[in-house]
Amino acid sequence: MPIEAGIVIQIVYLVAAVLFVLALKWMSSPGTATRGVYAGEIGMLLAIIGTLLHHGIVDYKWVAIGLLLGTLIGVPLGRVQMTAVPQRTALSHAFGALCVTLVGAAEFFLNTPHVAKPLMGILALEVILGSLTFTGSLMAAGKLQEILPQRPISYKGQNLVNLGTLAIAIAIGIYLIYHPGQPVLFLVMIALGLIFGVAMIIPIGGADMPTVISLLNSYAGLSAAAMGFVLDSKLLIIAGALDGSSGFILSVIMSKAMNRSFTNVLFGAFGQVQAAAAGTTEERPVRSATPEEAASILAAANKVVIVPGYGMAVAQAQHKIRELFDTLTKRGVEVSFGIHPVAGRMPGHMNVLLAEADIPYDKLLDMDEVNGEFSQTDVALIIGANDVTNPAARTDAASPIYGMPILDVDKARTVMVIKRGMSPGFAGIDNPLYYLNKTLMLFGDAKAFTGEVVRELTGGGGHGR
């Protein structure tokens, strides 16, 4: 009887694994993505039910309490504002890593001092990855929520200190493989992992967040897979490997979009661009325009590409932009959006905000799609984006962002930039785009300025029709 139950549970797990793979496959396009989520949910439900059937479970009280409490915490986390999605995602990486670390620690204390060598090696890997992902993700969430300063903090020898911390943790892990009867050392190893997680995120600034979140996503997945090895759970190995490779692919896409090398990503050496900052920028003349002037140029255009960036999210301008989109579309202007892979604070951030504002997703073009279109574009309207539009990345070999793929907005007939002032972007790099003859600077808050342009277009300065 127990053997049969065991086989049933294994088959349930297998079905769950297949559903997870299908869920990811269906995520490939918006048309089938919702089906993908359902597949994932059914797979998860099956796996939990299958686990509850386990004959080893003698006490359901704590399991029930845990499931209930987790649901109570999870529901509000699933209902956060779309603008809070990056920090919510970072927080969920922290929770996932916390779970893995605690389970790993419990397994160690249940088995010490008799832990088989391979098991101990994987356990060490699991808790190091888990603990650094836990604090790293909490730090990232804190920075994104602006509880912690967004500014990167760096000091001399930082990389040495950080890598040293990690190296000692790994050395302890290796020592434990041969001497597993050392609970204190095990705890020291976890503590070092926790410290490394904090230290890893300290030098990272806001613009590097898309890469960092993807990397933490990958670590969370890999630590879950390691836990699968420890528990001999193939389902967990598969789910962890899927999550790990997803985060890995996203990190590679993000690092390519920022022209960072792959080792740069793996070893977390982010946020070092700003070292080469600013220099002496003499006052150069720029052309600025009022909302009326901007509105009349937009109204006369045939084709407009809007380029949003993190500034749009900060100003919460997406709904005003939707009004602008509607007004221009009604006048027969062709409007689309050009979205750089690292615009915003996490992969796909801009797409979600614009979709929330009801902008149809077929108008959201990625970098490769939109770059061919700028030469036929009358107006490129940049809202809250800076470095991803900086032509110095193409032309100036001395620029810190040289080589980074950018949106070729300077090929449009007219460029408009909504910006609070002339301050440089995150990387502290001056943007030559602003001094071009075809560029009009629209100084002001993104939301307020867009609102005024819309008012000009619809009612002629608020007189109504």
Partner 1 sequence: MSDLISNLYIFVLAGFLGFEVIRRVSPLLHTPLMSLTNAMAAIAVVGAILLAGERKSDLATVLGTIAVVAATSNIVGGFLITQRMLKMFKTSRGPKR
Say how far apart CA 416 and CA 380 lie, in whole Å: 6
Q: Which of 136, 311, 341, 405 binds partner 1 (CB under 8 A)?
A: 341
Minimum distance from CB of 233 to partner 1 (Å)?
A: 6
Query: Where does residue 85 rank: exposed (0-12), middle (13-18), buried (19+ CB within 10 A)?
Result: buried
Instruction: Closer to partner 1 by CB, 169 or 220: give it.
Output: 220
DSSP state of 414: E
The dihedral region occupied by 96, where left means phi > 0, alpha psi between -120 and 50, and beta the remainder, is: alpha
Q: Which of 347, 384, 405, 451 binds partner 1 (CB under 8 A)?
A: 347
Q: Does 113 interact with partner 1 (rule: CB under 8 A)?
A: no
Q: Which of 5, 7, 77, 167 binds partner 1 (CB under 8 A)?
A: 77
Residues 69, 329 contacting (CB under 8 angstroms): no
Residues 211, 270 contacting (CB under 8 angstroms): yes
Q: Does 332 interact with partner 1 (rule: CB under 8 A)?
A: no
Minimum distance from CB of 13 to partner 1 (Å)?
A: 8
With CB under 8 A as the rule, give the number of residues binding partner 1: 113
Minimum distance from CB of 327 to partner 1 (Å)?
A: 15
The window from 75-83, 187-195, 294-302, 372-380 that contacts partner 1 (CB under 8 A) reads: 75-83
445 is catalytic: no
Residue 335 pairs in a beta bridge with 304
Q: Which of 2, 3, 79, 397 binds partner 1 (CB under 8 A)?
A: 79
Residues 207, 346 contacting (CB under 8 angstroms): no
Instruction: Closer to partner 1 by CB, 4 or 59: give it.
Output: 59
Cα 227 to Cα 169, 204, 242, 285, 436: the distances in Å are 18, 28, 14, 59, 55
Residue 307 pairs in a beta bridge with 382
**Candidate list 208, 243, 387, 430, residue with the active-site label:** 387
Interacting residues with partner 1 between 220 and 259 (CB under 8 A)? 220-221, 224-225, 227-250, 253
> Who contacts 34 (Cβ-Cβ below 8 Å, separation ≥6)?
none
Instruction: Closer to partner 1 by CB, 240 or 268: give it.
Output: 240
Instruction: Closer to partner 1 by CB, 326 or 445: give it.
Output: 326
Minimum distance from CB of 432 to partner 1 (Å)?
A: 27
Contact pattern for partner 1 over residues 194 through 213, marking x by CB under 8 A:
-------------------x
Q: How many residues does the chain have?
A: 465
* H or E, element range at 335: strand 334-339
Record the tokens describing residue 23, joined without a space: 């869920």
The window from 35-43, 166-174, 286-294, 412-420 that contacts partner 1 (CB under 8 A) reads: 35-43
Q: Does 33 interact with partner 1 (rule: CB under 8 A)?
A: yes
Say how far apart CA 193 and CA 212 lie, in whole Å: 17
Instruction: Closer to partner 1 by CB, 55 or 151: give it.
Output: 55
Q: Alpha helix locations (H) across 27-116?
A: 30-52, 61-78, 85-111
Q: Does 317 interact with partner 1 (rule: CB under 8 A)?
A: no
Q: Does 109 interact with partner 1 (rule: CB under 8 A)?
A: yes
User: What 3-state class would DSSP assign to 94?
Assistant: helix
The dihedral region occupied by 414, where left means phi > 0, alpha psi between -120 and 50, and beta the remainder, is: beta
Single out the residue of 193, 214, 90 nearest to residue 146, CA to CA. 90
Minimum distance from CB of 65 to partner 1 (Å)?
A: 6
**What's the sign of the alpha-carbon dihedral 17, 20, 24, 25?**
positive
Interacting residues with partner 1 between 42 and 61 (CB under 8 A)? 43-44, 47-48, 51-52, 54, 56-60
Instruction: Closer to partner 1 by CB, 85 or 407: give it.
Output: 85
Interacting residues with partner 1 between 357 and 416 (CB under 8 A)? 358, 360-364, 366
Instruction: Closer to partner 1 by CB, 29 or 423: give it.
Output: 29
Instruction: Closer to partner 1 by CB, 370 or 416: give it.
Output: 370
Q: Which of 2, 29, 397, 462 binds partner 1 (CB under 8 A)?
A: 29
Residues 164, 213 contacting (CB under 8 angstroms): no
Minimum distance from CB of 107 to partner 1 (Å)?
A: 8
> Who contacts 275 (Cβ-Cβ below 8 Å, separation ≥6)?
400
> Who contacts 29 (Cβ-Cβ below 8 Å, separation ≥6)?
none
**Catalytic residue numbers, as ranges:** 387
